[in-house]
Amino acid sequence: MSDTRERVGLVCPSCSSGEPTVHEVLSPGGQATVRCTDCGHTHKTEISEPETESIDIVVSQDDQSFTTTMEVPADTYAEVGGEFVVDSPEALLQARVTDIEVGPEERVEEADAEDIETLWTRAVDNVSVKVTLHPSDGNRDRTRPLSVAVPGDYEFEIGETETFGDEEFTVEGVQIRENAPDYRFDKLDHKGDIAFAKDVKRLYARDETSTAWSAW
């Protein structure tokens, strides 16, 4: 059975003279009972609770959104494009910061937790990617839309053929989202270019579905 006791860094009166060592919390409370993992010495000490800040978080997922509130360490800061886990009654999910509100109609690129009123985020652990499909004969008048649901870390590569159920297409271009990190260009169109699904605003692809444009 795995050990699930809380562990904290504390000075041990037996084996450390100022530098904290890892302690197991045997009995929590005002005067907690702890045991040093270096020497095994057990003693009582006061463990202070970390200061926290309450932040409102708006999470968007596809065409829906919900608002929750989280307590975060007071020394935390957030930046647009950063990701974190939202733990709420509605869901447990990975989210990316899209906007930081620090005052009425005042939004910034980064801020300390104490200054944040609302974090605007987008769920990125599972995403729906919009695809614009055009037929292989190049007739743009017969372009059609498609949406595919994939994990956020799914990779789309220019030149690669993807299959989703009865749909098949070859990726020819990728429009990158505004707040996506680590991309040199807003649009990728060179063979071999790769983008994560969570960073994709739209895919442009050649329709390879065998019956997509058959006569009827």
pLDDT at 88: 85
Angstrom distance (rounded) from CA 144 to CA 130 = 11
Q: In this predicted model, what pLDDT tens digit does every residue of 19-35 receive, in sequence order?
A: 899 999 998 877 899 99
Q: How far is CA 112 from CA 40, 42, 75, 79, in A?
A: 39, 37, 7, 9
What's the chain's average pLDDT? Answer: 89
pLDDT tens column, 93-111: 999 999 999 988 899 999 9
pLDDT tens string 120-138:
999 999 999 999 999 987 6
pTM over 0.75: no
Distances (CA, A) of 38 to 16, 24, 63, 198: 9, 10, 52, 43
Helix (H) / strand (E) containing 35: strand 32-36
Residues 67, 57: Cα–Cα separation, whole Å: 6
